[in-house]
Chains A and B, each alone.
Chain A
Amino acid sequence: MNRRGFILAGCGTSLAALTVQPVVAANPLSTVARRLIDSNVSLFRWPLRRMPLDETPRLLSTLRDHQVAEAWAGSFEGLLHKAQGSVNSRLTDECRRRGGGILRPVGSINPRLPDWEYELRRCALEHRMPGIRLHPNYHGYGLEDPAFERLLRVASDLGLWVQLALAMEDERMMHPLMRVLPVDPTPLSTVLKVVPKCRLLLVNALRTLRAKPLLELLSTGQVWVEISMLEGIGGLGTLLSQVRNDRVLFGSHAPLFYFESALLKLQESELTQKQLDAIVSGNASSLVKTSPLKHRHGHQ
């Protein structure tokens, strides 16, 4: 039991006598720099369901309502489409035309497809993307695959950071014809040792990656993680008590998840100002800045 729990337990009788008026603490974002960076949103249609915010203007409106200054947007099309070049072109065009200066495109690359290196270079040099998002479980490879290591190496050489999505949804409720197990992150620590320049953000990871394996990855100095699938009472405070605080980013997984889920995690745990600043934008900025080709990472 922590100190707060101890105090409450010890004061049970007097608390019980109170007529409780629920109190919501101040908006956490009112006390932080208003530059929230959402490291994990997606555009276009989820293959199995329409969602309230799956049209870019609606998503953008919600992001703006919640003071999001920048959102790193992947594409749901990247999960299943084979023509990844078209996926990335559409994503870039959508961010440019309808992104309101907030959405930054994050390209999809499938290293099981022929000539993926060409698509990767297009992401960096033609679309001027800051990073890419990988979905090994939807693309049919494991992290022990040599193509994965090569992809990380080439992406790093191009100055791209890499988002590795361990999952997209709860495997218990998947469509029977589209059951996709979460990515096994076990080989990751070995792969990262041979690609020291790689900057890796784990997205949708905290449902399946916890405890010692998570701590070890975050301690490498090459890995960050976002909070969209973090759960448990006071989950963010607990996480920050266990891991390097400069490794945790805000991520919503919108529009598949309600954006407010990630936002309210900032409220549920009692965080210091320094922790809040780091999570809402500081750590994301650091991830971008540590890229060796940071000069190419200007806004679109």
Chain B
Amino acid sequence: MKTHWAEMKSAATSIWDLHCHLSGVPGDTPEGRLGHLIAYADRMGVERLCVFMGMEWHYDPTPEAFRLENDDVLRALRHFPDRALGFVYLNPKFPQQCLDELNRCVRDGPMVGVKLWVAEHCDAASLDPLVDRARELRVPVFQHTWLKITGNLPGESTPQELAALAARHPQTTFICSHSGGDWEVGLCAIRPHRNVFADLGGGDPVAGMTEMAVRELGADRVLYGSDIGGRSFASQLAKVYGAKISEPSKRMILGGNLRRILEPVLRAKGVRF
């Protein structure tokens, strides 16, 4: 009998999860929640978690609110520095405060990426200063995107808008969160831009998604992420384990690509990986 479980375990040697949250998780403190996530990560063979946004989320946060959310993540990271990495959450409507927070959390702190959610459409000119600064700090910009037939939130970005931003900043690394949600459209939108990676996380485990991402972008531009705690490790890891792609491609998606993206900033910070 063919044992796919053994296959899963062999591929699970160094899984890095790109997309984790502290919301939707039991616990009264950030470190309590992250500890909870890590307990499940251990069961699923996930080695590192990239965490962003705080215990309480805001669609359109004030600078004070996004600083507090980042404080939650910084506090959690202090308890699990060898298991978790942080991305700084920003609102591009406040350019100077974004730069200040980038400096606080990335230049002077442990964070290794930028997270943008639904406060502002990502093709807006207000993003340019923070994107430039992210490039200087050699960290990726993780942009939420979703194409909803039911209607997007007022500031919610589409993958097409991310493609426009990426075209303006060809030297910056972007990650297209959820692969655009409607991934058959989203993957095509980002396909021309080699500086844009696809995040598999957060949608239903619809079969064929990962195969299309590898076919259209190449396995070196595809990243595993779960979007826990709203989602499960199970449904999102299945997108890789269940995909009809090569084993080397699976290893790249499960962690190799993310390590490659983060290598400059991790080395600069002296993080062992």
Chain A positions within 8 Å of B, measured between CB atoms, are 1-2, 4-6, 8-9, 12-13, 15-20, 22-25, 27, 29-30, 49-53, 65-67, 169-176, 179, 229-235, 254-265, 267-268, 270
Q: Collect the chain A residues with CB atoms within 8 Å of residue B31's CB.
A: 9, 12
Query: Does B164 make an interface contact (CB < 8 A)?
Result: no
Decide yes or no: A1 and B43 within 8 Å by CB, A169-B206, A254-B207, A268-B232 being known contacts. no
B90 at interface (Cβ–Cβ under 8 A)? Answer: no
Nearest opposing residue in chain A for B231, CB measure: A231
Find out whether the CB atom of B235 lies under 8 angstroms from the CB atom of A22.
Answer: no
CB distance from B231 to the nearest CB of A (A): 5
Contacts of B43 in A (CB 8 A): 24-25, 267-268, 270
Residues in B with CB closer than 8 Å to A255 are 207
CA distance A65 to B9 in the complex (A): 15
Whether the Cβ atoms of A264 and B38 lie closer than 8 Å is no
Candidates A23, A51, A235, A256; contact of B45 at CB < 8 Å:
A23
Residues of B within 8 A of A (CB): 1-5, 8-9, 12-15, 24-29, 31-33, 35-47, 79-83, 146-150, 181-184, 203-208, 211, 228-235, 237-239, 241-244
Q: Is B229 within 8 A of A233, CB to CB?
A: yes
Taking a contact as CB atoms closer than 8 A, the residue among A13, A233, A259 that contacts B232 in the complex is: A233
What B residues does A6 contact at CB under 8 A? 32
A171-B150, A232-B230 are known; give 10 further A-B pairs, CB within 8 A: A1-B27, A1-B36, A8-B35, A20-B83, A172-B150, A233-B36, A258-B241, A258-B243, A260-B241, A265-B232
Interfacial chain B residues near A4, Cβ < 8 Å: 36, 39
CB-based contact A231/B12 at 8 Å:
no
Given A4-B36, A257-B206, A267-B181 contact (CB < 8 Å)? no
Known: A18-B82, A265-B232. A5 touches B207 (CB 8 A): no
B251 nearest CB across to chain A (Å): 13
B4 adjacent to A66 (CB under 8 Å) = yes
Q: List 29 A-B contacts (CB under 8 A).
A: A1-B27, A5-B32, A5-B35, A6-B32, A8-B35, A8-B36, A9-B79, A15-B79, A15-B83, A20-B47, A22-B46, A23-B42, A49-B208, A51-B207, A52-B244, A172-B149, A172-B150, A173-B147, A173-B149, A230-B232, A231-B230, A232-B231, A235-B234, A258-B207, A258-B239, A258-B243, A264-B44, A264-B234, A267-B234
Are B203 and A232 neighbours in the complex by a CB distance under 8 Å? no
User: What CA separation (Å) do A255 and B81 show in the bound complex?
Assistant: 39
Please name all residues of chain B whose beta carbon is closer than 8 Å to the beta carbon of A27 when the two chains form the complex: 3, 5
Cβ A172 vs Cβ B146 within 8 A: yes
Write the nearest CB–CB distance from B163 to chain A, whole angstroms: 18
Q: Are B241 and A268 closer than 8 Å at their CB atoms? A: no
How far is it, in angstroms, between the C-alpha of A256 and the C-alpha of B28 when the chains are bound? Answer: 37
Q: Please give, as numbers and ranges, the residues of chain B lying within 8 Å of A258 by CB-CB distance.
A: 205-207, 238-239, 241-243
With A257-B205, A258-B205, A261-B242 given, is the CB distance from A22 to B150 under 8 Å?
Answer: no
Q: For the complex of A and B, list the 8 residue pairs with the smallest distance between their C-beta atoms, beginning with the closest.
A: A258-B242, A8-B35, A12-B79, A264-B234, A261-B238, A260-B238, A5-B36, A27-B5
Closest to A21 in B: B47
Task: State whether A231 and B232 are in contact (beta carbons under 8 Å apart), knowing that A15-B80, A176-B149 are contacts in the complex.
Answer: yes
Chain B: CB-nearest residue to A207:
B204
- Residues of chain B lying within 8 A (CB to CB) of residue A174: 149
Chain B residues within an 8 Å CB radius of A233: 24-25, 36-37, 40, 228-229, 231-233
In the assembly, what is the distance between CA of A112 and CA of B40, in Å?
46
- A8 contacts which chain B residues (CB < 8 A)? 35-36, 38-39
Residue of B nearest to A66 (CB): B4
* Complexed CA–CA distance, A49 and B208 (Å): 9
Interface centre among A5, A19, A229, A232 (most CB of B within 10 A): A5
